[in-house]
Amino acid sequence: MKKKVIAIGLDAADPVLLERLISQGHLPNLSGLRNRGAYGRLKTQVDLCGTATDTICSERNWVIFSTGCYPSKTGYWDTAKYHPENYQITQDRNHKGESLGYDYQEFQAFYDLGAEYKVGLFDVPMSGVSEDFNGIQISVWGSHSGSHMDPYSTPDSVLPEINKKYGRNPLFKRDFGVWWNPNYVEWVQKSVQDSVSTRAQVCRDFLNKDSWDLFIAVFGETHSAGHDLLHFSEVDHPLHHSAKVSHTSINPMVEAMRNVDKAVGEILADISEDTYVLVFGVHGITNNMADLCNMAFLPELLYRYNFPGKVGLAPGKLGTTPPKQFANPKRKTWPGEVWQQRFDPNPIKRFLQKWMPSKFDSLLNSGPNPALTSPYELLKQGEDLAWMPNMWYQRLWPQMKAFALPGVAEGFIRINLAGRDRDGIVKPSEYESICNELTEYLYRLTDARTDQPIVKSVARTRPEGDYSDFKRPDADLVVSWHDTPTDVIDSPDFGRIGPLTYYRPGGHTSRGFLLAKGPGIAENSSLPEGQAVDLAPTVLDLMGADIPGHLDGSSLIKRSIPVAT
């Protein structure tokens, strides 16, 4: 028997913050759903050669949600793709939905249910449907995940109608400012509020205009707020004391979540009691440890490993008390802040680069063989990822035994393997010893301020003797970090790196959640801990739809809650 389901995603809304705000009375609508239904946490992991590894990449987790399959089955691991034939990096792109990071050809999205079910999709990140899809899909109107793509809809006419009636989303492709700019922080706060309000109106319009067997809407605003505003709500955040908004004493992160809670209540106001309601998040956001580690510390560490005695970025002296963290950065962008901390053997240049405007950067970074490529030069070359310090080392990759691929979730190390990578210099017989050596170096890294280890795990992605790339991550080693942020690290092997300026206050975690209410679901009950891969079979189970055999997860409702007959 068919049942209707409405699923509301809160992109990157962390359950730890959510539970705290519910207990403090800030989220009355979500609290009401919790009291009248079931709640549980999700923790999504992937198996990398026997190592259970948290998966915190937003786009990867959304593809897991849509397919109900792990990346080892779909082959989708990240938005950035490395090409071993030329050492180039390309990013996911789409044009009217024709080319996504994952194309849903081998494994169809679970909500693409054919003529029997009418489905509405609003801003489900990384979504994709076939020609047989029965319903409406609006993608990338206001998503943060996948914001390097273009908005589109199925049918094509729907998106222009929304833009005409409601306007374009104020956050889309604009929520990438810096925490030290109070004007940007205030703009984000206001734009999140406006975007949430508009999203609620669009959802209500669609729910009132048609009868949907399944309606999924995702709030990307929680993702934007988490990256930019989290330090306002977390007293243990290293940037908490730098968090300032001039016009109000209201905590912007709490206010953003309160606005989302209000919008959820408005969307569900007229929903019948026999409709299943799900509110979920496939991953969360917490104090950001990953950005500096993945994008700056790791590529610099590997530069020093490959070129003994050389330093590219932010040298420091082991055994000394680190300087204070950068609390009042001067540059307008984070790449500009990090770039002015590059090392130049010329002391005059080192002095000038801290104060020289970026438009004169080429004068300081001149010479036949500068160690790193300037982000400004990469921008001139049309490099999308010029802002990531990983890419400043790219021209050196063919000369390196191992290098750090760009990534915002985990640390990605590629071995420059002979016979696989164009100019590979590591023999297959040396592959295991290089991996072991790098792993030992990584586990010796410490936070220079606390002397605590910063590496949680180093996982292999390929079994011994099989180093091919098919459906595997581009990285040979995946580095996961401990949760406490740091701006300066020590390596007993390669020296100190930092301090460097913090980037986004909030960074991804593997924590998600599921809240469910509907017929037969016991009030104030608990769900078992699941994973993002379990959400697809859970939705299909509640709908009364067939659950395809290739799905890797299982229904969380069926596992924990007896449904009334």
- The CATH number of the domain where 274 resides is what? 3.40.720.10
- Cα–Cα dist 287/236, whole Å: 8
**Shared-domain flag, residues 235 and 366:** no
Residue 91: C-alpha distances to residues 80, 83, 99, 126, 151 (Å): 4, 11, 11, 13, 16
In a domain, 48, yes or no: yes
Judge whether 316 lies within some domain. yes
End of a domain among 471, 488, 503? 503
296 and 387 housed in the same domain: yes
What is the per-residue pLDDT for 346?
Answer: 77
Q: Look at 84-88, 244-248, 314-318 and tell me which has the smallest mean pLDDT.
A: 244-248
Whether residue 126 is contained in a domain is answered as yes
Q: Are residues 391 and 538 in the same domain?
A: no
3-state secondary structure of 312: coil
Confidence at residue 48, expressed as pLDDT on a 0 to 100 scale:
96
Query: Could you report the per-residue pLDDT of 160-211, keeping only the tens digit for each?
Result: 999 999 999 999 888 889 999 999 999 999 999 999 999 999 999 999 999 9
Q: Are residues 299 and 161 in the same domain?
A: no
Q: 3-class DSSP state for residue 182? A: helix
Decide which of 484, 503, 522 is a domain's last residue.
503
User: pLDDT (tens digit, 9 = 90+) per residue, 26-65?
Assistant: 999 999 999 999 999 999 999 999 999 999 999 999 999 9
Residues 298 and 282 in one domain: no
What pTM was estimated for this model as a whole?
0.94
408 contacts 295 by C-beta, under 8 angstroms: yes
Please state the domain count of the chain.
Answer: 2
At which of 459, 488, 503 does a domain end?
Answer: 503
In a domain, 477, yes or no: yes
Tokens 């071993």 locate to 84
pLDDT, tens digit, 9 for 90 and up, residues 101-131: 789 999 999 999 999 999 999 999 999 999 8
Same domain, 298 and 365: yes
Are both 419 and 326 inside the same structural domain? yes
521 and 407 in a single domain? The answer is no
Establish if 14 belongs to a structural domain: yes
Q: What is the sign of the dihedral through the CA atoms of 474, 507, 538 and 529?
A: positive
Rounded to 5 degrees, φ, ψ at 53 are -120, 125
- 245-279 pLDDT, tens per residue? 655 567 999 999 999 999 999 999 999 999 999 99
Mean pLDDT of the chain: 92
pLDDT level of residue 510 (50, 70, 90 thresholds): very high
Same domain membership, residue 458 and residue 312: yes
3-state secondary structure (DSSP) of residue 293: helix
CB-based contacts of 439, cutoff 8 Å, min separation 6: 458, 477
Q: How many CB atoms lie within 10 A of CB 469?
A: 15
The tens digit of pLDDT for each residue in 512-523 reads: 999 999 999 999
- Nearest CA to 472 out of 101, 76, 56, 99 is that of 76
Regarding whether 519 and 498 lie in a shared domain, the answer is no
| Average confidence (pLDDT) over 357-372 | 66
Q: Is residue 565 part of a domain?
A: no
336 and 236 belong to one structural domain = no
Domain range for residue 455?
290-503
Residues 118 and 155 in one domain: yes
Nearest to 182 by CA among 229, 130, 119, 129: 229
Residue 333 CB coordination number (10 Å): 16
Q: Is residue 401 domain-resident?
A: yes
